[in-house]
Amino acid sequence: MISEGRNNRLLDNWKCLLICCVVSMANCQYGFDTAAVAGFQAMIGFLEVFGYKDAKVKSGWNINTKPQQLISSFLNVGTIVAVLLGGPFSHKFGRKPAIWTAAGISMIACGVQVGADNLAGLYAGRILLGLGNGFFILFSNTYTVEAAPPQHRAVLASFFGFWVNLGSILGAVADNYSKNLHSKLAYRIPLASLFAIPFLLSIFMFFVPESPRWLLLQNRPEEARKALVKLRGTSLKPELLSEEFIEMQRGIEQEKELASTTSALDMFKGTDRRRTILAAGAIASHAASGVWFTISYSTFFYQMAGIKKPFQATILQNCLGLVGAMCGMFLMHKVFGRRSMLLIGASGCGICMLAIGLLSIAGHSHRAGQALVGFALMFSFFYNGFTGTITWPIAGEVVSSRLRVFSVGLGTGINYFFNRLISYCTPYFLNANNLNWGAKYGYIWAGSNAIAFLFFFFLIPETKGRSLEEIDEMFVNRVSRRDFKTYQCVSSERAREIAEQQVDELSKGGISVHTEKVPV
């Protein structure tokens, strides 16, 4: 285990906390956009441009199933392309340039969508925004996993859930205040608001150091040590900071000895195959939970279910999601391990979706509508407080530094492939002109959450409190899932011995070079 002195408080690491919070802000765009677009499909101002008059619908306007599908699914197409390009891009350019690139693409995408007055232009903007989202999600989460101290990694990496939910609230609020404008401004105002996130992020990134682990992979140890010093600030004594840096350095050197080159195919070789399956499964559980259905079609679903105030219900749902994310950050830090969080989340989400499905028996009564909203709110709490909060830290830490972007990118691509499938198929289930399942759609997600529960229970190991190098050691040594929690690693102990030896040499007047290649 790592030295006790490195197990300091979260507030002692305020500098790293602030940096990770800023980088994770990239995910705010994803939440804002999905919530805003979900509301567009119930806006008269939007439907007058992209929909048609329908006397059967209470609002008098409706939208065809095809554009309804493509508006959401094209975002996922762009995201899938982005995460597949992420590995090669990161190998050459790094984490910071990737986030700057995403910010530029996102601002162009916002401009295209704001100016669009036909479906073709809107589709193009959705694909571009998906490209930006893909890089944002992939690289912001990769960076926070690599930059965070071991004991606080889950909390810092779970800022993903905080920012997504905050963005969802802002998007739903923007829709709520512009929904009554019977003009293009109804949807253009929320879309124009999206400019703020990539613009601010592109400025903040000038003050963020590059990932130390990526710099070590590029054989730039001096820069890597300086980056680690910036991240840790005054939270560690010099000898403890040297210990952490040496542990990183030894871990990277060992990875290079195992494989001299980096290829996407390496994800499926040796022990990395197991790590890729775990990362991909953890990320794909987002789609399995049914969350894409709730965030993309919540307002439309509430409206079709007869809820009188669908926009306000969506805001309430997103607010409870934010509360859940904040509770989850506390619980994973103080109470539960990784596996417990996942199992509670999958169980809670599955039960809520089953209850929503059973409510279809009650029809469209007022009480049934209230119960439906209640279980949708509970689902939002369980997903954001447990499953959605912890899966990104797990996916980032179970894979090797050399293949982190490739493996997390693959998992993200699989997740968004299923998200695209969900976006494409959901209108058929909900739209009154098609299957018109309504609440019965919840049965599907109850089943998929049960499958996710089994995956978590049998395959996901407990990694709480472990450094990334310790996790590497356990996978290389093929430690079973059951033994992860109690396995005694030697990587941290060896790094501590080397750091102490350097301190002794320095105290005796010797010369110690911290950034030289350390013994493996």
Does residue 513 have a pLDDT over 50? no
pLDDT band at 103 (very low <50, low <70, confident <90, very high): very high
Question: What pLDDT does 347 receive?
Answer: 95
pLDDT band at 282 (very low <50, low <70, confident <90, very high): very high
Give per-residue pLDDT as tens, 113-132.
998 888 889 899 999 999 99
Is the entire prediction scored with pTM above 0.85?
A: no
pLDDT band at 135 (very low <50, low <70, confident <90, very high): very high
Residue pair 290/349 in contact by the 8 Å Cβ criterion: yes
Question: What pLDDT does 427 receive?
Answer: 72
- The residue with greater pLDDT, 370 or 273, is 273
Residue pair 343/284 in contact by the 8 Å Cβ criterion: no
* Listed ranges 73-87, 97-111, 164-178; the one with the highest mean pLDDT: 97-111
- What span, in angstroms and rounded, lies between the C-alpha atoms of 160 and 348? 20
Question: What pLDDT does 516 receive?
Answer: 47
- The residue with greater pLDDT, 312 or 191, is 191
pLDDT band at 110 (very low <50, low <70, confident <90, very high): very high
pLDDT band at 306 (very low <50, low <70, confident <90, very high): low
| Over residues 344-356, mean pLDDT | 93
| Over residues 313-327, mean pLDDT | 83
Q: Give me the amino acid identity at 123.
A: Y
Question: What pLDDT does 172 receive?
Answer: 81
| Over residues 35-48, mean pLDDT | 79
Instruction: Please give the domain boundaries of the chain with CATH numbers for all domains.
Output: 4-476 (1.20.1250.20)
Name the one residue in this structure whose structure tokens are 């500098």: 15
Which pair of structure tokens corresponds to residue 212? Answer: 């130390």
Question: What pLDDT does 279 receive?
Answer: 94
Residue pair 179/39 in contact by the 8 Å Cβ criterion: yes
Question: What pLDDT does 41 receive?
Answer: 72
Does residue 511 have a pLDDT over 60? no
Give per-residue pLDDT as tens, 143-191.
999 999 988 898 898 888 889 888 888 888 888 888 788 788 888 998 8
Give per-residue pLDDT as tens, 328-340.
888 888 888 899 9
| C-alpha distances in Å from residue 326, one per residue of 87, 390, 422 | 31, 12, 27
Question: What pLDDT does 26 receive?
Answer: 92
Q: Which residues make beta-bridge pairs with 53? A: 61
Question: What pLDDT does 154 receive?
Answer: 87
Nearest to 224 by CA among 249, 204, 260: 249
Give per-residue pLDDT as tens, 23-36.
999 999 988 888 78
- The residue with greater pLDDT, 99 or 401, is 99
**Helix ranges, 151-269 (H):** 153-157, 159-178, 185-193, 196-204, 212-217, 221-232, 238-258
Question: Which range among 46-60, 267-281, 342-356 shows the weakest confidence by mean pLDDT?
Answer: 46-60
- What span, in angstroms and rounded, lies between the C-alpha atoms of 463 and 302? 39
- What span, in angstroms and rounded, lies between the C-alpha atoms of 95 and 293? 31
With pLDDT > 90 as the criterion, what percentage of the chain qualifies? 34
pLDDT band at 321 (very low <50, low <70, confident <90, very high): confident
pLDDT band at 512 (very low <50, low <70, confident <90, very high): very low
Does residue 81 have a pLDDT over 80? yes
Question: What pLDDT does 213 receive?
Answer: 93
Does residue 210 have a pLDDT over 90? yes
| C-alpha distances in Å from residue 213, one per residue of 82, 243, 252, 502 | 22, 14, 8, 21
Question: What pLDDT does 307 receive?
Answer: 67
| C-alpha distances in Å from residue 360, one per residue of 303, 368, 409 | 15, 8, 38
Which pair of structure tokens corresponds to residue 188? Answer: 């253009």
pLDDT band at 387 (very low <50, low <70, confident <90, very high): confident
Question: Which range among 155-169, 453-467, 498-512 shows the weakest confidence by mean pLDDT?
Answer: 498-512
